[in-house]
Amino acid sequence: MRPTALTALSLSISLLIAAPFAIAATPTTLGQDDVAWLKRDGFGLDTAAVAQYRALGRKALLEKQLDNRIADTLPAPVEAQIASYESFHTPLQQLLTSIQQEQELIKAMPNGPEKDAANKALQTHANQLGQESQQAEMLHAIYGPNQLKEQLVWFWLNHFSIYAGKGRIRWELADYEQNAIRPHALGKFRDLVMATLESPAMLEFLDNAQNAKGHVNENYARELMELHTLGVNSGYTQQDVQQLALILTGVGIAPTNGKPEKFNPKIAPQVVKNGLFEFNPQRHDFSNKVLLGKTIKGSGFDEVEQAVDLIVQQPACAQFVSRKLAEYFVSDNPSPALIAKMAHTFHRTDGDIAQVVRVMFESKDLLANAGKKFKDPTQFVVSSVRLAYDGTPIVNAQPLVGWLNQLDQPLFGRITPDGWPLDNESWSSSGQMAKRFDIARAIGTGNNQLFTPVGSDARGAGFPMLTTRLYYDAIEPNLSQATRGALAKATSQQEWNTFLLSSPDLNYR
């Protein structure tokens, strides 16, 4: 058994005195490789995922997922829940105009209890919008029919990480996920970089909204190369950072005060707008620059597009992105041969993410490392809920957000721009495992409020029944002896559920 805190947890469980809970197994079990592949393909097993796999087969399912031919349609109650969120049905321009007006009104108030209450109400509103975006992402992860795409959405949200607690970003989270990340999760990497570059959330998080001629801010330029595209020690210099920062001057956000902007007629044609994104030539440094050894003539927004094209075409970018994808899906230490194949495909296809992922999923490495990749908190929570409730729409997603907070991986909660770590060691401490056991118990016993509407005193749906056909088809045949022994000693279905969800077998994929 794997040498982690899970071992001790499993052993302690096996000492409990109990009786087995089971139903008759069916003969239609999946092969071990099939289950291992599905665990890498999606956040976790449910009946729909297994049925889809059986109907299409591995190759056809992968093609359908990568071609993005599986609609993002969620169960109707889940769709309605997300649609009810203010941050998803209100345009970002309206949200930011509203906050600016509120801030101006509060600023004009005299100091005192009324001003304090108004500030508190504004923060409460911001927190509500942030929680809506967190809940919506978790609901997509649990119920999204294209599970490979859902994993990539989470991966890119983490790769192009933003922090909700800064400035107005809580107002901008839904727009970031919906318009910058999700549409490009399976597309060209260059388009994904440009979408994040033009996102108000990224522009404010990494301060490029403040980057202007004569007041240059290098923060985003540095992270764009170090964290988003090339990686550390990839050959770029501090001078490259400075030159890229000059190229990015004027890249920012349109005013949200409702007043029309006035531009000099000579430069007005050079203004570029896309939603709230704005390239303002009046704030741009038009000098010639030299980036990564190539001269980029001062020409306005075209400089930005040239710079991004140049960066993503670097061999280091193909290597960096391929390695991170392999670290997330395959192994903490992916083989150089796999990375080389993925990087070659990245370069050959002009950064086609779907084609790079195809190479990875068709490689022998994917299954050679089966059962050795430890789930991060998001994977643990999502896979547990998918298995426990098997497509049944939950009505209250806030417990999901709370569990990730408890597990020290809050969505949009990484203060530094490097994203949450992807390796096993970061998430397998004894403290982490104790928290996972508590969450497994909350899910396994039904004591979790997932089926209790917000503000209601109604009781939830009770505890889930995990001894189902799905369990016997796809999970039970592959359980370790230690987990089987622990399950055999459970004294109730709720306890059995808890032991299964917290077992080493379900914490690895």
Hey, is 272 helix, strand or coil?
strand
CA pair distance 447, 434, nearest whole angstrom? 17
Residues 366/330, Cβ–Cβ less than 8 Å: yes
CA pair distance 474, 85, nearest whole angstrom? 36
The helices-and-strands tally (H runs, E runs) of the chain is 26, 5
pLDDT digits (tens, 9 = 90+) for 97-107: 999 999 999 99
* Burial grade of 150 (CB within 10 A; 0-12, 13-18, 19 or more): buried
Q: Do strands 289-291 and 272-274 pair parallel, antiparallel, or not at all (unpaired)?
A: unpaired
The predicted structure's pLDDT at residue 261? 86
Amino acid letter, 276: L
Largest CA distance in the chain: 82
* Burial grade of 439 (CB within 10 A; 0-12, 13-18, 19 or more): buried
Residues 408/381, Cβ–Cβ less than 8 Å: no
* Burial grade of 458 (CB within 10 A; 0-12, 13-18, 19 or more): exposed
The predicted structure's pLDDT at residue 458? 67
Q: Averaged in consecutive runs of 10 residues, what is the pLDDT profile of the chain (509 residues)? A: 42 35 48 95 96 96 95 95 96 94 93 95 96 98 98 98 97 98 98 98 98 98 98 95 98 89 90 96 97 97 98 98 98 97 98 98 96 96 97 96 97 98 95 96 94 77 89 93 95 96 96
Closest C-alpha among 327, 321, 280, 277 to residue 301: 280
Q: How many CB atoms lie within 10 A of CB 238?
A: 9
Q: How many CB atoms lie within 10 A of CB 295?
A: 8
Q: What is the pTM of this model?
A: 0.93
CA pair distance 11, 111, nearest whole angstrom? 59
Amino acid letter, 488: A
Residues 10/500, Cβ–Cβ less than 8 Å: no
CA pair distance 124, 229, nearest whole angstrom? 36
Q: CA 141, 143, 147, 149 torsion: positive or negative?
A: negative
Q: How many CB atoms lie within 10 A of CB 262?
A: 8
- 87, HSE (Cβ side, Cα atoms, 13 Å): 26
Residues 376/410, Cβ–Cβ less than 8 Å: no
The predicted structure's pLDDT at residue 344? 98
Closest C-alpha among 483, 495, 507, 499 to residue 380: 507
**Element spanning 274, H or E:** strand 272-274
